[in-house]
């Protein structure tokens, strides 16, 4: 059977680009497909990445793509992968160019889609005054009046970080609080207020949050908010599910040490395959998935 490339990398974010680098360095042929919907698009600074702390996310991707230029076995298609199906010993993929290509292996690196509260202003403030992660955006709002939108155990997992960051903190459960007795006692002891009122809007100037508005007419002044995810995460594509890749209860593909999914020949990395969401960790897992694919390809080649 004739293959167009050895590997299809679906997604050219930190995970996919790092997988490509590993493949390129071992002279494997790969096509990266990317349709320009990076997770951190709303942000103008990429933090917590050694040597590039504070860089613009688009600039980081540009540099990572530039690194790949010298590896002539790696190609880039700026568009979407529409479908991937098993075909003989490999896979056939249809791209948004309407072309189909055959591959031996597939790497899923298409990231996750953040869910936004259906409240006016939320989308506009996302990544500017409403954040998902204190490592990405925390230092910039240290000692500020912060709010934490969340509930249940996820909230109490994040609480120590945001409590330490804030000059004062209010919890917004945006509905009935689902707290255990000891969790309520902790909030009481540390004098951390919470409100169950429904959020109806935000008052802000430009990208700067001023206050959070509630259905009872109340406004709570805040400089920034952390919004916790609800599970399962939504991935940016369903290609993995269609191939039969198993997921965990957080919504991520179950993978082994080198990114191998439950389906032979299919690997996953980055935000697709772990709840530890950062550029550095996505790049690391992309590198591991790339190495996993290289090892499998070369082991098969040795046996030909």
User: Measured from the CB of residue 162, what is the shortest distance to ligand FAD in angstroms?
Assistant: 16
Q: Which is nearer to ligand FAD, 40 or 174 (CB)?
A: 40
CA atoms within 13 A on the CB side of 69: 7
C-alpha 287/C-alpha 282 separation (Å) is: 9
Q: Which is nearer to ligand FAD, 188 or 208 (CB)?
A: 208
Of all residues in the chain, what percent are helix, strand and coil, respectively (each to 5)? 30, 30, 40
Q: For residue 6, which of 261, 245, 298 has the smallest C-alpha distance?
A: 298
DSSP annotation of 126 reads: B
Q: Which is nearer to ligand FAD, 84 or 187 (CB)?
A: 84
Contact 219, 211 (CB under 8 A): yes
CB-neighbour burial class of residue 88 (10 A; exposed 0-12, middle 13-18, buried 19+): exposed
Give the length of the chain. Answer: 304
Q: For residue 262, which of 253, 270, 271 has the smallest C-alpha distance?
A: 253
DSSP annotation of 270 reads: G
User: Measured from the CB of residue 166, what is the shortest distance to ligand FAD in angstroms?
Assistant: 19
Tokens 């690196």, residue? 109
User: Measured from the CB of residue 232, what is the shortest distance to ligand FAD in angstroms?
Assistant: 16
User: Measured from the CB of residue 187, what is the shortest distance to ligand FAD in angstroms?
Assistant: 27
C-alpha 169/C-alpha 144 separation (Å) is: 9
User: Measured from the CB of residue 169, what is the shortest distance to ligand FAD in angstroms?
Assistant: 21
Helix, strand, or coil (residue 241): helix
User: Measured from the CB of residue 12, what is the shortest distance to ligand FAD in angstroms?
Assistant: 6
Q: Which is nearer to ligand FAD, 30 or 46 (CB)?
A: 46
Tell me the backbone φ, ψ of residue 77, rounded to 5 degrees.
Answer: -120, 125
Output the six-digit token pair for 252. Answer: 């991520």
Helix, strand, or coil (residue 284): helix
User: Measured from the CB of residue 78, what is the shortest distance to ligand FAD in angstroms?
Assistant: 9
Give whole-number Cα distances, 15 to 32, 34, 41, 185, 298, in Å.
Answer: 11, 12, 15, 41, 21
Q: Which is nearer to ligand FAD, 81 or 166 (CB)?
A: 81
Q: Which is nearer to ligand FAD, 5 or 179 (CB)?
A: 5
Q: Which is nearer to ligand FAD, 74 or 279 (CB)?
A: 279
Q: Which is nearer to ligand FAD, 212 or 239 (CB)?
A: 239
| Contacts with ligand FAD, residue ranges (CB under 6 A) | 10-16, 33-40, 42-43, 46-49, 80-81, 109-111, 114, 127, 132, 136, 236-237, 270-272, 277-280, 282
User: Measured from the CB of residue 35, what is the shortest distance to ligand FAD in angstroms?
Assistant: 4
């Amino acid at each position: 059977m004739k293959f167009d490339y050895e590997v299809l990398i679906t997604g050219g974010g930190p995970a996919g680009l790092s997988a490509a680098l590993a493949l390129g360095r071992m002279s494997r042929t790969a096509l990266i497909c990317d349709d320009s919907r990076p997770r951190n698009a709303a942000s103008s600074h990429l933090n917590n990445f050694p040597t590039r702390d504070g860089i613009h996310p688009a600039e980081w991707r540009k540099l990572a793509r530039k690194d790949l230029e010298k590896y002539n076995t790696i190609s880039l298609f700026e568009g979407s992968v529409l479908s991937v199906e098993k075909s003989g010993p490999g896979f056939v993929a249809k791209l948004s160019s309407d072309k189909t290509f055959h591959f031996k292996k597939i790497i899923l690196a298409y990231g996750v889609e953040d869910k936004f509260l259906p409240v006016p202003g939320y989308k506009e403030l996302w990544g500017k005054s409403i954040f998902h992660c204190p490592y990405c955006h925390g230092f910039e709002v240290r000692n500020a009046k912060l709010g934490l939108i969340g509930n249940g155990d996820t909230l109490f997992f994040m609480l120590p970080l945001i409590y330490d960051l804030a000059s004062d903190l209010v919890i917004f459960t945006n509905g009935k609080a689902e707290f255990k007795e000891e969790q309520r006692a902790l909030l009481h002891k540390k004098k951390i207020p919470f409100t169950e009122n429904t959020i109806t809007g935000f008052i802000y100037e430009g990208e700067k949050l001023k206050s959070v508005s509630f259905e009872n007419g109340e406004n709570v002044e805040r400089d920034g908010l952390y919004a916790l995810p609800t599970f399962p995460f939504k991935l940016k594509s369903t290609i993995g599910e269609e191939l039969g890749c198993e997921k965990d209860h957080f919504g991520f593909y179950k993978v082994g040490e080198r990114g191998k999914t439950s389906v032979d020949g299919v690997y996953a990395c980055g935000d697709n395959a772990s709840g530890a969401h950062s550029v550095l960790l996505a790049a690391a897992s992309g590198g591991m998935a790339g190495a996993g694919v290289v090892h499998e390809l070369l082991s098969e080649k040795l046996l030909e």
